Amino acid sequence: MWTNPGSSASLVAENVTGVWRCDPAPGHQRGGMAACLRLDWLGLGLILTMVAPSLCQGCPQRCECVPQLRSVACPHKSLTSIPEGIPNETRLLDLSQNRLRWIEHGDLDPYSQLEEVDLSDNIISVLEPNAFSSLRDLRVLQLRGNQLKLVPMGAFSRLANLTTLDLSENKIVILLDFTFQDLCSLRHLEVGDNDLVYISNKAFIGLLGLQELTIERCNLTSISGQSLSYLRNLVTLRLRHLSIPTLEDQNFRKLASLRGLEIDHWSFLEYISPLSFQGLNLSWLSITYTNITSVPSASFRNLAHLTSLNLSYNSISMLGPWAFRDLVRLKELHLVSTNLVSVELNALSGLRQLRMLNLSGNELLTLEEGAFHSVNSLETLRVDKNPLACDCRLLWILQRRKTINFDGQAPVCASPAEVQGKAFSAFSDSALFDRFTCQKPKIRNRKMQQVTTREGQPVSFLCRAEGDPAPAIFWISPQRRRITSRSSGRITVLPGGTLEIRYAQLTDSGTYICIASNAGGNDTYFATLTVKGLPLDAVAMANRSYYAGDLNDTNQNDTRVFLKFTLDLKTILVSTAMGCITFLGVVLFCFLLLFVWSRGRGQHKNHFSVEYSFRKADGPSAGGGQGGARKFNMKMI
C-alpha cells in the first residue's frame, strides 16, 4: 500500500526542497537539535533511495500507478477481472479496453475512496443492483463500449455525488422507469449509440441537476415529451442520427431552463410543427442534415431570445421575404451548403442585430443589400464557394470589403468572364464602378395588346424583356394584385414572362401591367382585356345540350354517350308548389273530418247513415214475394 500521510516516506516525498520539518518531542524546547534537522541534498537522495520501493509496493502487476494522484491505470491488459493489489486509497481507476464481463455487488467495495472509474471498451453485459453503491465519492463513471442490453433499477443507487455518466455504444434497448433516480447530482449523461427503441416516461426521474443530455444513433421513432419533462434544469440537449420524421407539438414544453438544442442527421425529418419549440427560451438552435426544404418560420415564433441559428446542410433552395421575422435578437445565422439559389428582397428583414452571416457553399449568383434589415450591424460575411456574378448587386459588399470580416475566405467572382476568378479584395476603388454595373431592363415588342374574348376562353399576354442581370417579370392585375411565376390557380406567369389566364371571367376585364425589374431599374408595359358574357341562346343551348363521346377514340372500344340534363329554376318552383298544395289539401280534409266527428263526442251520440236502396225489379222478386226496398246503413259514432 501507499504510505499514509505522516510517515517518514510521505514526509520525505513532500519535502523535496531539502528541509524536513518535524514537531519537537514532548519535554524538549522548540528549536532544539532534536526538534529540527536540516538535510542536505546528498542525505535526501539517500533517504529517497531507501524509501522508493515502499512507494510502489501497492501497485498491481501490469498496471501503472501515480502515487501523487492516487491513480491506477491498467488499460489494454486483457484483464478478465479486477486485479488484486489495488491500494484502498485509490481515487482514479482505469480498467478500460480489457475483457471484464460483469460488475457484481461488492467487487469495488474495498475502494470506497474512488472518484473516477473507467470501464470503457470491455464486454460487460451485466450490472447488478448496488454494483457501485459503496462508492459514495464517485464523480465520473465511464461504461462506454460494452455489451449492456439493460440497466436494472438500482444499478446506480447511492451515487449521490456522480456528475458524469457515459452509457454510449452499448446495446441498451429500453430505459426503464427510475433507472437514474438516485443520481441527483448528475450533470452530463451520454446514452447514444445504443439500440434504444423506447424511453420510459419515468426513466429520467431523479435527474434534478442534469445539465447536458446526448441521445444519438438510436432506433427511436419519436421523442417523448413526458420523459423529458422531468429534466427541469437541462441546459443542453443533443439529438443526433435519429429516424424521426416529425417534430410534434410541445415535445420540449417543460424544459424551461434549456438554452441549446441540437437536431442533427435526422434524415427522415420533413415537418416541424409550429408549436414544436413552444415554452422554450433557447439561446442557440441547430437543425442540420435533415430533409426539410424551407425555413420553418412558424416554429420560430416563440424564440424571441434566440441569438444563434444553424440550418446548414438542408435542402433549402430559397429564402423568402421575412423568413426570420420573429428572431429579433438573432446575431448569427448559418446556411452552409443548403443548395441555396435565391435570397429574395427583405428575406433577412427583422434581423436588426445580425452580426455574422454564413452562406458559403451554395448556388448564389448574388446577395442584394435589399435582403437585409440593415447591413450596418454586419461584422462577418461568408459568401465564398458561390458562383457570384459580379455586377451592381454586389457593389455594397465591395464598398465594405475593408471593414467586413470574410473569416479568411474572400469571395471570388465567377462571372462575367473578364473578372472570373478574381477575389473581391483584389479590386481597386477606382475599378468598382467600372466593373460592378447593371443594365436597366427593356421590354421588347411594345405593341399594345388589346384582347376581347368570351367568358370561359383562355387568354395570354406576351411580355419579353432583356437586361443585365436578367430581369424578373411580374404582372399587376386590374384589381392591383401581384401575379408572379409562383402564383397558382387560374392566372399565372409562365417562365418567359407570359401572363396566362386559363379561362376568362367577367371580373378579369381591365388593364394589366407587366413590370420587368432588376437592380438597374424597372420597365413597364400595358395590356387590355375585355371579357364578354355568353349570349342567352348559347346559355339555353348549353343547358339542353348533350355530349357524345368520340366514336373514333383509339383508347375506347365501345361507344359512350354522355347526356346532360338541366332543370331551370321556374320548373323546380312550379313542381314544388304543386306538390305542396296537394299535400296541404289532404291534410286539411282530414282535419275537417276529425273536427266534425269530435263535436258531439261525450255529449250525445251522433251518427250519420248512408242509405242505399236497390232498384225494384219490374216483376216479382225471385223469392216470389213483393220486392221491397233493401237498405244498407253505415253509422259513425
Confidence of residue 434 (pLDDT cuts 50, 70, 90): confident
Q: What are phi and psi of 13, to 5 degrees?
A: -65, -30
Tell me the C-alpha distance between 188 and 180, whole Å. 12
Mean pLDDT of 288-313: 95
pLDDT, one tens digit per residue, over 145-164 is: 999 999 999 999 999 999 99
Over 70: is that where the pLDDT of 118 sits? yes
| Superfamily covering domain 60-194 | Ribonuclease Inhibitor (3.80.10.10)
Cis peptide before 416 (omega within 30 of 0): yes
Mean pLDDT of 472-480: 93
Q: Which residue has the higher pLDDT, 575 or 91?
A: 91
Question: What's the chain's average pLDDT?
Answer: 81
Over 70: is that where the pLDDT of 3 sits? no
Mean pLDDT of 115-143: 94
Q: Which residue has the higher pLDDT, 144 or 591?
A: 144
pLDDT, one tens digit per residue, over 301-356 is: 889 999 999 999 999 999 999 999 999 999 999 999 999 999 999 999 999 999 99
Mean pLDDT of 77-90: 92
Tell me the C-alpha distance between 169 and 190, whole Å. 9
Tell me the C-alpha distance between 389 and 470, whole Å. 11
Say which range, 67-81, 107-121, 561-575, has the weakest mean pLDDT: 561-575
Mean pLDDT of 203-210: 93
Closest Cα to residue 217, out of 198, 240, 250, 190?
240
Tell me the C-alpha distance between 411 and 404, whole Å. 12
The reported pLDDT for the residue numbered 524 is: 94
Please state the domain extents for the chain: 8-56, 60-194, 440-532, 569-617+628-637
Closest Cα to residue 193, out of 148, 228, 225, 160?
148
The reported pLDDT for the residue numbered 570 is: 60
Q: Which residue has the higher pLDDT, 485 or 411?
A: 411
Closest Cα to residue 508, out of 477, 538, 472?
477
Mean pLDDT of 66-77: 93
Most confident region among 6-10, 252-256, 267-271, 428-432 by mean pLDDT: 267-271
Residue 13 belongs to what H/E stretch? helix 8-14
What whole-number percentage of the chain has pLDDT above 90? Answer: 58
The reported pLDDT for the residue numbered 586 is: 76
C-alpha cell at 171: 446495446
Say which range, 178-187, 222-231, 275-284, has the weakest mean pLDDT: 222-231
Mean pLDDT of 188-216: 92
Max Cα–Cα distance, the chain, nearest Å: 181
Residue 102 belongs to what H/E stretch? strand 102-103
| Helix, strand, or coil (residue 231) | coil
The reported pLDDT for the residue numbered 541 is: 56
The reported pLDDT for the residue numbered 295 is: 96
The reported pLDDT for the residue numbered 14 is: 37
The reported pLDDT for the residue numbered 297 is: 94
pTM exceeding the 0.95 threshold for the entire prediction: no
Angle at 50 between CA 47 and CA 51, to 5 degrees: 90
Count of CB atoms within 10 A of residue 367's CB?
Answer: 25
Q: How many CA atoms lie within 13 A of 250 on its CB side?
A: 5
Residue 55 belongs to what H/E stretch? helix 41-56
Contact 459, 451 (CB under 8 A): yes
CATH code of domain 440-532: 2.60.40.10
The reported pLDDT for the residue numbered 561 is: 35
Q: Which residue has the higher pLDDT, 60 or 550?
A: 60
pLDDT, one tens digit per residue, over 360-386 is: 999 999 999 999 999 999 999 999 999
The reported pLDDT for the residue numbered 427 is: 85
Tell me the C-alpha distance between 438 and 190, whole Å. 56
The reported pLDDT for the residue numbered 254 is: 86
What is the dihedral sign for C-alpha 593, 595, 598, 599?
negative
| Helix, strand, or coil (residue 469) | coil
What Rg do the C-alpha atoms of the chain give, in angstroms?
46
Tell me the C-alpha distance between 578 and 511, whole Å. 50
Count of CB atoms within 10 A of residue 545's CB?
Answer: 12
The reported pLDDT for the residue numbered 523 is: 93
